Amino acid sequence: MRRLLPVPLLLLLAVAACGATPAVSPSAQASPAASPTRLLPTFPELTGDLTTTAKLLSFDPANKAAVVEPIIFQTGPDYCKALHISPVEARCSQEVVIDASNTRVTLPMATKLDMRDIGDGSCAGTMTGGSTCKSTTGYMARLAGDDAAVSITLQAGTLVRIAELYQP
């Protein structure tokens, strides 16, 4: 009996140690002053009047509807600066960073939807406003098939403009 008492006691101590929080040396802890708090990306609600970027997932002119996914579409340095990410991270040196929201939204389309594409490259426009050449419903359907990045403009929650975004 005397020999069995230490074994259960050791087992009890071993089980108790499993739930204990491991100690971390002060040198292994991150200093709050050394790295600023990283922000999470925020995506706009697709209501009201706004212009934002999105992936075009579906384009159905017959039913006057489009399905989009809000995205962040920025240069690498701008993205990292906005979200307080260390500039040494790989994405900070990318020409374009696309961060998806993983949210799909069906939007009604205006009767006279303004559609724009890059054309032969001379209509690239800007990163925020998108391309400038007039486009067709067939071209927009192809963009939707590719889940292309676009700039969208809503008025009263209705899609009034879609412009292809240039990606280097």
**Where do the structural domains in the chain lie, given as residue ranges?**
50-164
Cα–Cα nearest to 59, from 147, 120, 132, 131: 147
pLDDT digits (tens, 9 = 90+) for 73-103: 998 999 999 999 999 999 999 999 999 999 9
- Residue 30: per-residue pLDDT: 39
Q: Which residues does 59 contact at the CB level (< 8 Å), separation at least 6? A: 66, 137, 140, 141, 143, 144, 162
Q: How much of the chain exceeds pLDDT 90, in percent? A: 60
Q: How much of the chain exceeds pLDDT 70, in percent? A: 77
Whether pLDDT at 21 is above 70: no
- Per-residue pLDDT band for 8 (boundaries 50, 70, 90) equals very low
In this prediction the pTM is: 0.73
Average per-residue pLDDT in the chain? 81
Tell me the C-alpha distance between 167 and 87, whole Å.
Answer: 21
Whether pLDDT at 160 is above 90: yes
Residue type at position 2 = R
pLDDT digits (tens, 9 = 90+) for 35-63: 456 677 788 888 889 999 999 999 999 99
- Per-residue pLDDT band for 156 (boundaries 50, 70, 90) equals very high
**Mean pLDDT of all residues in 16-35:** 39
Gyration radius of the chain over CA positions: 26
User: Is the CB of residue 51 less than 8 Å from the CB of residue 61?
Assistant: no
Tell me the C-alpha distance between 50 and 39, whole Å.
Answer: 23
Tell me the C-alpha distance between 140 and 150, whole Å.
Answer: 10
